[in-house]
Amino acid sequence: MEKVKIRYVEELINVLPNHFNIKIIKILNGGWSNFSTYQCIKCGEIFVTKSLDDNYLLLNKKNIQCPNCETILNDNLIKYPERILLNGKVIYTNINMDYISNINNSKISEFYLLSDM
Ligand SMILES: [Zn+2]
């Protein structure tokens, strides 16, 4: 599976009632880049898609295997970070994707690109 370099920020969020200071990442979109993020609910691997591919992917992801844990991603992929894998469970974060607190501390890393292979 192809990897792409993407700039992102880390944020600490609280998910009430009892999860505090959970580190999540937000992709910095803008200009030519417009990515959405997903997570494997078996191993926590984070994937990106080009947003225009989203509808297509949701219908056609059945045969895509997680390169980290080899799970077939159909039914094992969640929209991240609106939902995240935490201690083996999927939880809703109710996160505000428009709010970024520390844009000056952005980092670049490589993420697997889900595409219509
Ligand atoms: Zn996985």
pLDDT tens-place string over residues 37-69: 999 999 999 999 987 777 766 666 567 899 999
By C-alpha distance, which of 23, 43, 27 is closest to 113?
27
Q: What residues have their beta carbon closer than 5 A to ion ligand 1?
A: 40, 42-43, 45, 66, 68-69, 71
22 Cα: distance to centroid of ligand 1 (angstroms): 20
43 Cα: distance to centroid of ligand 1 (angstroms): 4
3-state helix, strand, coil in the chain (%, to 5): 10, 50, 40
By C-alpha distance, which of 7, 40, 14 is closest to 93?
14
Task: Tell me the domain boundaries of the chain.
Answer: 3-113
* CA geometry: angle 66, 93, 27, nearest 5 deg: 60
The verdict on pTM exceeding 0.75 is: yes
Q: What is the pLDDT of residues 4-35, one digit of tens each?
A: 999 999 999 999 889 999 999 999 987 767 89
| Side chain identity, residue 87 | N
